[in-house]
Amino acid sequence: MAKEIVLSGIRATGNLHLGNYYGALSKFVKMQEDYDSLFFIADLHALTTHPDPKTLHTNVKNIIAEYLAAGVDPDKATIFVQSDVPEISELYLLLNMHVGIGELMRTASFKDKARKALGIKTDKDEEDIEKEIIGNESNKRVNAGLLTYPTLMAVDILIQKANKVPVGKDQEQHLELTRRFARRFNSFYGVDLFPEPENFNFGGNAVKVPGLDGSGKMGKSEGNCIYLIDEEKVLRKKVMRAVTDEGPKVPNSPVSQPVENLFTLMELTSAPEVIQQYRDAYADCSIRYGDLKKQLAEDILKVTLPIRERILDIQNDDVLLARVIKQGADRARERAAKTLSEVREIMGIKKFY
């Protein structure tokens, strides 16, 4: 029986952090053993925020090195750069004909990015935000690429006919849209071309790795990240500075968000008995956050330091990186070209010569 197809990607916006690792990369490494796997660097998606061209190029290279360092194996999985597959850009145009502006404007990630770009406070209601985005004609900060971001992501997935897409919780709405677009295309043309892809987390729930600042998720734009490439000293310092509270005053107090975040990070990196020890210490008010942070830093370093060393080895091996990227591009293109030609045929775009 043919193996199920797995595809996932990470935007080329900077070094990879623990959120990327636990939400995506660590799953890539496990899934490549049992699935027909494709993992890529989304450099076109990064363009929505206008990165410096030199930095973009370096980021792509660094992330490939980080994939390899974390254990993605080019002999088991296809590793490629999105822009090396021009078929994606063509299918993006074709699929956009079946995507509504309204559904794109209602996407949480779009509203979030548009709000930030326009400096709109989050307490405004939906309609006000939409009016402000549409009404502000001179405002080019909210570009059309940002709006059609979910179409491009759907194309990445559909062009490879992927069944499973390992991503963090923040990407689930995009996956939902991808399924909707797949269904719509199939039913509009009466075909059974695209499978409906689903998230994958080895039977568990989608992951949301919190940041160190006591608030929401770990993210590059939030400045609250632990990077795989962080030096030991830097990493320890970041963890020791993580936001906590004054500590529990009465037994069995509810755990505040910032402290729960540290426990969540422990759940990802520490042994179950260690976590229990600190949970118990919290419950009986004997906990010392300094000790918890030291332990957490230690356990995170056990994961990141070996990866960091490999990144440093691989990062400057231009010959290896070029070979991996070229091999991946060839494989990914061949498969994408096949789907694109099917779509062209289905939509009536046929050659006359």
Given the rule CB under 6 A, which residues bind ligand TYM?
Answer: 7-11, 19-20, 22-24, 42, 45, 153, 156-157, 165, 167-168, 170-171, 174, 207-209, 217-219
Q: How far is the CB of 199 from ligand TYM (least distance, A)?
A: 9
Residue 8 or 148 having the CB closest to ligand TYM: 8
Q: How far is the CB of 351 from ligand TYM (least distance, A)?
A: 29
Structure tokens at 51: 């990165």
Question: Which position has the token pair 């632990």?
Answer: 226
Out of 76, 111, 208, 217, the active site residue is 217
Cα gap 228→70, rounded to integer Å:
9
Q: How far is the CB of 92 from ligand TYM (least distance, A)?
A: 11
Residue 40 or 282 having the CB closest to ligand TYM: 40
Nearest residue to 57 via CA among 81, 89, 25, 24: 81
> Could you count the other beta carbons within 10 Å of the beta carbon of residue 55?
13
Out of 61, 113, 238, 293, the active site residue is 113
121 counts as catalytic = no
Continuous H helices in 167-269: 172-189, 232-240, 257-269
217 counts as catalytic = yes
124 counts as catalytic = no
Residue 21: strand pairing partners: none
Q: Read off the amino acid at residue 21.
A: Y
Residue 162 or 314 having the CB closest to ligand TYM: 162
Q: How far is the CB of 79 from ligand TYM (least distance, A)?
A: 14
E strand segments, the chain:
5-11, 36-42, 77-81, 164-165, 198-199
CA distances from 248 to 185, 262, 288, 330, 349 (A): 55, 15, 10, 57, 67
Q: How far is the CB of 310 from ligand TYM (least distance, A)?
A: 19
Largest CA-CA distance found in the chain, in angstroms, rounded? 81
Give helix 126-135 / helix 108-118 axis angle, nearest 10°: 60
Residue 156 or 299 having the CB closest to ligand TYM: 156
Q: How far is the CB of 350 from ligand TYM (least distance, A)?
A: 29
CA distances from 271 to 123, 202, 252, 279, 322 (A): 40, 19, 22, 13, 38
Residue 47 or 157 having the CB closest to ligand TYM: 157
Residue 104 or 165 having the CB closest to ligand TYM: 165
Residues belonging to the active site: 113, 217, 220
